[in-house]
Structure 1
Amino acid sequence: MAAPSSTLVFKVHRREPELVRPAKPTPYEVKLLSDIDDQQGLRFHIPVVQFYKHAPSIRGKDDPVAVIRRALSETLVPYYPFAGRLREGPNRKLMVECTAEGVLFVEADADVRLTEFGDQLQPPFACMKELLFDVTRLKCGSFIFALRLSHCMSDAPGLVQFMSAIGEIARGSHAPSIPPVWERYFLSTRSPPRVTHTHREYGQQATIDENNTLTTMPHNFDSMAQISFFFGCSQLSALRRHAPPHLRQSYSRFEILASCLWKCRTVSLRPDPKETMRMICLVSMRGKFSDPPLPIGYYGNTFAFAVAEAPAGELCRNPLGYALDLVRKAKGEVTEEYMKSVADLMALTGRPDFLKTRWTYLVSDVTRAGFETVDFGWGSPVYGGPAEPDVGPVPGLANFCIPCKNKEGEDGIVLAISLPTQAMERFVKELESMLKSPPNETKTFTHVMSAL
């Protein structure tokens, strides 16, 4: 696979930014976010990018900019909180002032063809900063749709619900097939609040009687390298063989990948064997609430940060099954009551950030969010999903599992790992060793390296 060229040079003509407002009058009101939405760890923007090949739209040769602008305006009528402004109240409580001011929209034209981005589209993308406009027409007739959204407003499935609604209206529907539901009180603190679980993800060991002093250790990595890895059927099968034989088929793809990456990353960083290593997995509770059930159409955040912990020495010396058991146990702790406990903890402790240390690693699975199915009238994207491989502002701390096809058209998962340069070399060797199955046969993987 060829890497997207870091020397790709082209010109971008950008129009003046405009505010796209709801097509009809919407209510003026103030809506509270949930106590899951407004935690510190979600106070950043999610960049998403969709690449669409040149093709006639369902109505002929429509301009994607005009079609998407109109559809966005109409979609903002039922989704009018997106056209408002976030405000912070007492105790750092976030709310949306529904002002109908609109969302920032930029159109652009780029003097570049889609094929020039390489024969396989996956992050990290060349010149992404230059292309993160709302709609960019390309020289070949293809186009790029991109957006940035405050994570406090939606998780990945909620964002896809909004994008899909734009797509439905762009294709001729008069309203979204799934009406949006705000009702953030479903995941707000109880009265009185009560923390019923230990929340290691926020540095709380047993109680909240620590004045919200969360110990963090800043990343002090120096020179960083980034490699994108593609895991197809053969690679996942090779990794699965490292699981206990009687449990191999019971583990999900995510559990296999997260455990493998956690182990390989620990080996590559060479921490003190007694150092506590943490793996944080995002566990979605969509469709799992019963008291009361979460309504269809809810587009707020519905996940928790599940934490697995282990001494570095144990993680390195034990087979993969050791990490798998810890990851599965951590995910299993996230229940409906656990989510309510998180909401209460947020309200009681000032909405802290999740624990960020040198030895923490977070993996977010967006393979089922549906970015790759969003259709504005020109078919499905050739790539749809996160525009950047890392989650949040700290390089190397977190990664997305992103659905992707390789150049042969095989479905798989791509991850872009960021590590110090020397550690990256050890990481690749460790991963290659795990992909040998049987021992004398190497299951190779596709990877693309670029300097950060």
Structure 2
Amino acid sequence: MVTITVTRKSQSFVAPSELTPSEMLELSAIDRVPGLRHTVRSLHVFRHKDAADRVASRPAEVIRAALSRALVDYRPFAGRFVGSVVAGETCVECTNDGAWFVEAVADCSLDDMNGLDYPLMVSEEELLPAPEEGVDPTSIPVMMQVTEFACGGFVVGLIAVHTLADGLGAAQFINAISELARGMDKPTVTPVWARGLIPNPPKLPLGPPPSFQSFGFGHFAMDVTSDRIAHVKAEYFQATGQYCSAFDVAIAKVWQARTRAVRYNPEVEVHVCFFANTRHLLTQVLPKDGGFYGNCFYPVTVTATAGDLAVAGLLDVIRMIRDGKARLPLEFAKWTSGDVKVDPYELTFEHNVLFVSDWTRLGFLEADYGWGAPSHIIPFTYADYMAVAVLGAPPVPKKGTRIMTQCVEEKHLMDFKDEMKALF
């Protein structure tokens, strides 16, 4: 067993490379959702690749300098949150205080750690940035740690507060840093704040506070080959004359496998909830050239009884998922006009709700700081009060979809694995 030591060499705030205006910026109605005031954590793994113009440069130094430059245009990431989270009145004060940045080294190669693939041979906490003692991590919009390995590879540990950006927005920011790190004069995409363009329907009365019961869900991850996904997609097209996506296939299977493994009473309603991008529904108001990096999504929930879901064919479950996606434009339009009785953004964290996050198309896999794109990304969007499934990509050169879950207790884990492997 390899003994691995990660040493943090320095840690400090990185301010914008130029002084930026100090002002208070209002967040959108979606940004201000109290449930978004949490951190999203991930590890971005970069294998060593020859880069002639980077031989004399260290990744941490290059990325730190690029981060400082990126914060000029993305100045809210260098600011601080102010105002009440509970009342939904949070704002961002552009203070130029900076983003938290940590430089670290590991005394081994990435090969010694199996390329940082599952199961991890070192705690993710060693590779993720931690603020100074007593500092609330949700008060700092973004924190980064660059850990350099003896092989020349490195890992970027990223912690971002969801209040300021959704997955697409956070990836846009990271790609801006990577482009500046590669020597570009300015990022390809010009960032746009424009939070006032997001619909702001009348506030509904606050419901009861959500419960945060710890369920003790266990981790399980598996890779599904592209061929297997393609086979199911072909079956669906043959049966319905319609296309479906890898997302539809994977999530339908996880939802059904979980329901079967837990053995809910047949009459119990079970739900799957995923967060659909709504930028395409706001093309009339959002900038045509893109660049908006705030939260712009809608929670789509699909519901069935446990009995019906357990006995349904997989193609029928896929159809349920696609029907839910088809309802998105109407449901989002109703919310924007205030034609809802219950706030769809007020989520409930019950045992019978499966939350889904898709990391395959956000843009993180394209971030290249000068040493090539990441070999893979490990998201940690887990909380012990949420049943979750995360879709990602397996490490290069593998193809297909990686399904990472924390959605059943240990007593149901073997049955869940068997249900998943029955198809994949």
Structure 1 length as normaliser, TM-score?
A: 0.82
Q: Trace 1:65-214 onto structure 2 (pairs within 5 A).
A: 65-89=60-84, 91-118=87-114, 121=117, 126-133=122-129, 134-190=145-201, 193=202, 211-214=205-208
Q: Which of the residues 402, 407, 415 maps onto 1:414?
A: 402
Cα drift, residue 237 of structure 1: 3.7
One of 219, 224, 229 as aligned partner of 2:222: 229
Is the contact between residue 365 and residue 400 of structure 1 (CA under 8 Å) also seen in structure 2? Answer: yes
* Deviation (angstroms), 1:351: 9.7
Cα deviation, residue 234, structure 1: 2.9
Instruction: Give the whole-Å Cα distance in 2 for the aligned partners of 1:395 and 1:117.
Output: 30
Match of 2:391 among 384, 398, 401: 401
What is the Cα-based RMSD across aligned positions, in Å? 2.7
Please list every run of at least 4 consecutive aligned residues from structure 1 whose deviation after the TM superposition is greater than 6 angstroms: 348-352
**Alpha-carbon offset, residue 286 of structure 1:** 2.6
Shift of 1:345: 8.8
Give the Cα separation in 2 of the matches to 1:231 and 1:351: 32
Which residue is equivalent to 1:263?
256
Corresponding residue to 2:418 among 412, 422, 429: 429
Residue 272 of structure 2 corresponds to residue 279 of structure 1: yes
**Aligned-partner Cα distance in 2 for 1:357–1:119:** 35
1:15 touches 1:108 (CA, 8 Å); kept in 2? yes
CA distance in 2 between counterparts of 1:340 and 1:116 reads 53
Residue 268 of structure 1, CA deviation: 0.5
How far the C-alpha of 1:171 sits from its partner, in A, is: 1.0
- Give the 3-state SS of the residue equivalent to 1:264 in structure 2: helix
Query: Per-residue deviation at 1:412?
Result: 1.2
The higher-RCO structure (CA 8 Å, 6+ apart) is 1
Question: Could you say if the C-alpha distance between residues 120 and 241 of structure 1 is closer, same or farther in structure 2, counting changes exceeding 3 Å?
Answer: farther
Partner of 1:447: none
Q: 2:49 aligns with which of 37, 48, 55?
A: 55
How far apart in 2 are the matches of 1:351 and 1:319?
29
Whether contact under 8 Å (2:44, 2:374) holds in the other structure is yes
Contact 1:92 1:351 in 2 (8 A): no
Moved more, 64-73 or 288-297: 288-297
* 1:321-370 Cα distance to aligned partner (Å, 9 max, x none): 33222211221222277167169599x98996412111000111121112
Question: In 2, Cα distance between the equivalents of 1:29 and 1:310?
Answer: 47
Structural mapping, 1:201-350, within 5 Å: 211-214=205-208, 219=213, 221-222=215-216, 224-240=217-233, 243=236, 245-247=238-240, 250-295=243-288, 296-335=290-329, 338=332, 341=335
Counterpart residue type for residue 125 of structure 2? K
Q: Secondary structure at the match of 1:331?
A: helix
Find the counterpart in structure 1 of residue 20 from structure 2.
Answer: 26
Structure 1 CA distance for aligned equivalents of residues 323 and 112 of structure 2: 45
Using the alignment, how far apart are the partners of 2:41 and 2:212 within structure 1?
A: 24
Instruction: Give the unaligned 5+ runs of structure 1.
Output: 1-6, 195-207, 436-452
CA spacing shift, 1:317–1:124, aligned 2, 3 Å: farther
SS of equivalent to 2:189: coil
CA offset digits 1:104-162 (Å, max 9, x no partner): 11101111210122157357673211111411111222111111110111111111111
- The answer to whether the 8 A contact 2:390-2:405 is kept is no
Please say which of residues 256-265 and 51-60 is displaced more in the overlay.
51-60
5 Å matches for 1:354-393? 354-386=347-379, 388=380, 391-393=381-383
Deviates more, 1:129-138 or 1:9-18: 9-18
| Count of residue correspondences | 405
Assess if the C-alpha contact under 8 Å between 1:244 and 1:321 holds in 2.
no
**Change beyond 3 A, Cα 1:405–1:141:** closer
Cα deviation 1:288-332 (Å, max 9, x = unaligned): 323324541000111111000011011101212332222112212
SS in 2 for 1:251: coil
Cα shift at 1:260:
1.0
CA gap of 1:103–1:127, structure 2 versus 1, over 3 A, is same
* Distance across 1 between alignment mates of 2:121 and 2:286: 39
8 A Cα contact 2:45 2:116, kept in partner:
no
Contact 2:212 2:349 in 1 (8 A): yes
Cα distance 1:216–1:318, how it changes in 2: closer, same or farther (>3 A)? farther
> 1 CA distance for matches of 2:245 and 2:120?
26
Residues 214 and 385 of structure 2 are in contact (CA less than 8 Å); yes or no, is this contact kept in structure 1?
no
Q: Tell me, yes or no, if the aligned pair for 1:53 and 1:143 is still in contact at 8 Å.
A: yes
C-alpha distance in 1 between matches for 2:168 and 2:385? 24
Structure 2 distance, partners of 1:424, 1:23, is 49
Q: Distance in 1 between matches of 2:356 and 2:331?
A: 23
SS at match of 1:65: helix
Residue 413 of structure 1 and its aligned partner are, at CA, apart by: 1.1
Amino acid across the alignment from 1:394: D
- Tell me whether 413-422 or 263-272 shows the greater mean CA deviation: 413-422
Stretch of structure 1 that moved more, 123-132 or 26-35: 123-132
Structure 1 residues 397 and 343: CA distance shift in structure 2, 3 A: farther
Q: Which runs of 5+ in 2 are unaligned?
A: 130-144
Q: Following the alignment from structure 1 to structure 2, what is the Cα–Cα distance between the partners of residues 66 and 345?
A: 51
